[in-house]
Chain A
Amino acid sequence: MGLTTRGRWNKIAKYWPLMLLMVPGLVYLLINNYMPMLGMFIAFKNINFTQGIFGSEWVGFKNFEYLFKTSDAYIITRNTILYNAVFIVLGTILSIAFAILLNEIRKKVLSRFYQSVIVLPHLISFVVVGYLAYAAFSMDTGFMNKTILPMFGIEPISWYTEPKYWPYILTVIHLWKSVGFSCIVYLASIISIDTEYYEAATLDGASKWMQIRTITIPLITPVIVMLTLLSIGRIFYSDFGLFYQVPMNTGAISDATNVIDTYVYRGLMVMGDIGMASAAGVYQSIVGFVLVLGANYIVRKVNRENALF
């Protein structure tokens, strides 16, 4: 007994400098991550600033009842999931296609040039992307209405008031911004494939197309499965910048552009409806958490090594 206490003291004496190093980072996680987790209780309160966060009255699941009674709950859930599903499918196909093509470029300089250029959109903030989108889709001055549509003799379209175009616009912009990035990830896994496979296949007279189908794709399948499942785990979260900046916060098209993240933001910052916003936020956190665990469970079943935990 006395010995273990002394052992513990020795340990503390030996490791306190290391413990000290950890303090700033842990304090930051406490403030930035763990306190907000505990703060989720406000979704069960009717927040009233004169009474303060702690003084406000408990209302149980009332905020959630209100939220799910509105049509908003359905719309934001549908939009979030559908957009992400389309992003995952198209994004994966395009990135793999580009990665395979990029792998065929033998000139080092050229390959590096392509790689640098296609990740450029990823470097730009969504504010600037919003400006670029506005240059393309503005009613009176946009590139689409003034240059592209007249070429085909089509009348100008009022893009920012017509919800039906936005699923396409947002998908294209998302792909523009992200495909280059994930293409590089897939390229890395293609490059790591042993070239002997291809040499043997060429000797046997296999065409390029056949090699891609029977060597490249099967060998990168574990990576595809893992990355896809991880994005499915994040399907309840969306890129706030894409859905906030690009539609320029326009009310007329919100049915097509409102996702959980923008809904929470508007509830909190614009409407001042903290109850509704925090209920939607808790809904997102909980379902999102379950989905991450589920996705990871499946990854573990498929391939233990690729699992996150």
Chain B
Amino acid sequence: MALDHKGIRIVANTVLSLFAAVCLVPFALLIISSLSSEASIIQNGYSFFPKEFSLKAYDYLWLHHLELGRAYGITVLITVVGTAVSLAITSMLAYPLSRRDMPLARFWTFIVFFTLLFNGGLVPTYLIYTQIFDIKNTLFGLLVPGLLMSGFNVLLVRTFFLTSIPPALIEAASIDGAGEIKIFYRIVLPLSLPIMATIGLFQAITYWNDWFNGLIYLTDSRLFGIQTILTKMIMDIQFLTSNSNAAGSGAGQAIAQLPSTSVRMAIAAIGVLPIMIAYPFFQKYFVKGITIGAVK
């Protein structure tokens, strides 16, 4: 099989554009079906070329903008607070571990590392958070369990500090009379913006996409984020109707007219949209970040 340079380039472009299409097409179906009329979905199924377009699903979302706006707000809040706290405690733990003169640094590093090898599993975690810390049906349930800090990230940041911050710099600052904490946030952190940005990005995506904590720690629908709404809706398609007073008196009739399939797609679409819109701006860092994580 003789593949010359030109030949392989044609093969590469063909295969990769097919793969890229496979990656993109489902999103197109998602958006198009959220814009299809209910009747055309029921008649012809989800389709790239619906018989009839309609904004009904989005009208319906607008009708429920209070519930959905609240869910959106909660998702944004959790993402922002979670990412900020996560960056803070991750770097605060990683920095002392990176100091070669720090007593017990090796021991504490092992304590962090061991959490990557072994974990207690869902049942004890759930029982400890609900029975001891009483986290059920609070926003802490979305924020804290499992997501707030990963041992892996701590080790990643520690490695960055070890390899990219010259010890001489810290020593010099110390001789100039700067205290340890001042050194940390005046010198070490500003030099670590690349790794902080990468970890912050992955952390933000994790928080935005998380539905698991909502699934197991929340039953109170007022605390649901957008992903939790989507998750619960899969189990209970009638979620929106059962939770709204906006539908008013003729509830039975309203359910009958509920554009459920397209509405579901519309909610999924608005759950994905912010990431899609922001993606072109952060894709460079995202693609780079993948390799940072992989080569420890």
Give chain A's interface residues, CB within 8 Å of chain B. 11, 15, 17-22, 24-26, 28-29, 31-40, 42-43, 52-53, 98, 101-102, 104-106, 110, 112-121, 123-128, 130-132, 134-136, 138, 140-143, 145-147, 176, 180-181, 184-185, 188, 207-209, 227, 240-241, 245, 248-249, 261, 264-265, 267-269, 274, 277-278, 281-282, 284-285, 288-289, 292-293, 309
Contacts and interface: CB of A to CB of B under 8 A. Distances in A.
Given A131-B30, A278-B124, A126 B211 contact: yes
B188 to A, nearest CB: 11
B259 interface: no
A105 B23 contact: no
Consensus secondary structure, chain A interface: helix
A181 B29 contact: no
A106 B145 CA distance: 45
Contacts of A19: 96
Given A15-B103, A36-B119, 20 more contacts: A33-B119, A39-B120, A52-B131, A98-B16, A101-B8, A101-B15, A105-B16, A113-B20, A117-B23, A127-B211, A131-B234, A131-B265, A132-B29, A141-B41, A146-B44, A176-B23, A185-B294, A208-B7, A281-B123, A289-B118
Given A106-B9, A289-B117, A117 B46 contact: no
B184 A21 contact: yes
A171 B119 CA distance: 26
Given A22-B92, A184-B287, A17 B124 contact: no
Nearest to B271: A128
Interface stretch (B56-64, B107-115, B249-257): B107-115
Interface of B: 1-5, 7-9, 11-13, 15-17, 19-20, 22-24, 26-27, 29-30, 33, 41-42, 44-47, 88-90, 92-93, 95-97, 99, 102-103, 108, 111-113, 115, 117-128, 131-133, 144-146, 148-149, 151, 154, 179-181, 184, 205, 208-212, 215-216, 227, 230-231, 234-235, 261, 264-265, 268, 271-272, 275, 279-280, 283-284, 286-287, 290-291, 294-295
Contacts of B12: 101-102, 104-105
Nearest to A52: B131
A26 B93 contact: yes
Nearest to B295: A188
Nearest to A156: B45
30 contacts: A11-B103, A17-B179, A24-B92, A31-B128, A34-B115, A35-B124, A36-B119, A37-B118, A37-B119, A37-B124, A39-B128, A42-B124, A116-B287, A119-B287, A119-B290, A123-B275, A125-B271, A130-B234, A131-B265, A135-B265, A140-B45, A208-B5, A240-B212, A245-B211, A267-B123, A281-B122, A282-B121, A285-B118, A292-B117, A309-B113
Contact of B16 (A29, A101, A185, A265): A101
Nearest to A209: B3
Given A127-B230, A207-B2, A264-B121, A117 B24 contact: yes
A246 to B, nearest CB: 10
A284 B125 CA distance: 14
A116 B151 CA distance: 27
B181 A17 contact: yes
